[in-house]
A = this chain, B = another copy of it.
């Protein structure tokens, strides 16, 4: 139970405030996250880590000498935006380029990947790398599909130590890749976590049972078992991980491994030590030499009762990086010479907003778009809890919260754009950017893309035509397919967006007005969203238990249908459009 909060909507930001207040020796706050508060080493690769909030000490607690140069901190369980990552990267970089490290979740992959493109274009060479250590989230022949869990730490640590040792960006990337190849984790959960302000856990595990391989947001694992003894859990962990070795290890005898026994929230120190006692015995019996074991909390999920074991198979190079000294708020090792504090005036971004000139017709249309965005915000507000519940069936339950934040931010940005006299295209583009920035997560990225796509065809000069809107939606579908990687039938919002775009285009081609055409398409959208209940998710979900979600529609599909419907209402009232 998470009990201590003020306004739940402000939680992630207030966590960051308090964290920074308590750790000023290590970190300072910048827009989007934190960076080291110590002087930079010119030419050193900046290693940034990041992801959603709610996993402390991941990610902000891992910033400090010998570890990350900065952390990009999203909302609760929602990936930060590309804009946040760019902001933190600009504050942290010191001429050697940037490596962005994060767990393999769709939203993080989208946003960090996008940030790497932007930064590189702007002259800061940047690479992005997703950690994939969770053996339960995909079979051994599809390791690239695995999620990142507590093995984040071994990859972060190795890459950061390599950067500290002076390696260049390509080499630091190689070390991250090598560390990830040699890291394996398995987790279990006994009960779900309750997010601030929620009155029920995000998910539950039957009393006396444990979910084997459950993800850190409650993503389905590979099965359920009775809660074992401490020794029994150690045996499950070690047996499973010794059966899923890196491809270049055939015999574990004589191998050396870093070990992380990680508590996810309410499994306490004492329990972890009893489990570790047996883990150490089992590894010794298998002939594995343990190097610098870590027993504690490294990647958590609020009050989730769970634990995970990570094995980091070392070679000489990786061992050097694993055992190198580090001094971050939540991870310290060895002894290092403290770097001098950073100068006070570390540049922080700020920008005065202006908008391009717009025609009167386009500014008139911008007011309609604003009204539509307000209606979207209301319908999302009213359905946020339900969307969260639907999403929690096979996902991480953040869809409602993410959409809510996105819609609120979009309306705020649109209001400001209206005040500045923006045309329809600019207003919608700024709304889309704000949505992506504040919502984070996969849906944030895709909605940002969708609104930007429509904005591009609207422009700020002409009165928006039905054809322009339809073209914009079609372009949005194309971009979402390209970037999101989902196809029709994968149980995502694509299952709604594709028929919506097609019906809209057909109706507009038959010379129907925008309101009528949109109405037809919205009906299609509603039916398509309901039909997703029959599908099995294909991406972003653990396969073995994905069937669990059959019978429940996809949350992203449902919210898209809700939005097309409410926008139709706005158009119908304004008939003239």
Contact = CB atoms under 8 A, between A and B. Distances in A.
Contacts of A57: 269
A6 interface: yes
Interface string A264-303: 0111111111111110100000000000011101001011
A361 interface: no
A273 B14 CA distance: 8
B274 A4 contact: yes
Contact of A14 (B230, B335, B338): B230
Nearest to A190: B3
Contact of A274 (B1, B18, B336): B18
A238 interface: no
Interface in A47-61: 53-54, 56-57, 61
A230 B196 CA distance: 11
Contacts of A233: 4
A190 B194 CA distance: 15
A16 B265 CA distance: 21
B4 A269 contact: no
A268 B265 contact: yes
Given A276-B21, A335-B335, A305 B3 contact: yes
Contact of A275 (B18, B190, B191): B18
Contact of A335 (B229, B280, B337): B337
Contacts of A1: 190-191, 266, 305
Given A18-B275, A275-B18, A277-B17, A6 B305 contact: no
A227 interface: yes
B22 A276 contact: yes
Nearest to A270: B15
With most chain B CB atoms within 10 A of its CB, the pick from A6, A261, A295, A302 is A6
Contact of A6 (B229, B266, B336): B229
Interface string A548-576: 00000000000000000000000000000
A367 interface: no
A295 B22 contact: yes
A17 B277 CA distance: 6
Contacts of A265: 266, 268
Nearest to A210: B3
A177 interface: no
B18 A276 contact: yes
With most chain B CB atoms within 10 A of its CB, the pick from A19, A270, A302 is A270
Interface of A: 1-6, 11, 14-19, 21-22, 53-54, 56-57, 61, 190-191, 196, 227, 229-231, 233, 261, 265-278, 280, 293-295, 297, 300, 302-303, 305, 307, 327, 332, 334-338
Given A4-B271, A265-B266, 5 more contacts: A4-B230, A14-B273, A15-B274, A21-B276, A22-B294
Q: Which 10 A-B pairs have the closest CB atoms?
A: A18-B273, A18-B277, A4-B271, A56-B269, A18-B276, A4-B230, A21-B280, A22-B295, A17-B277, A14-B274
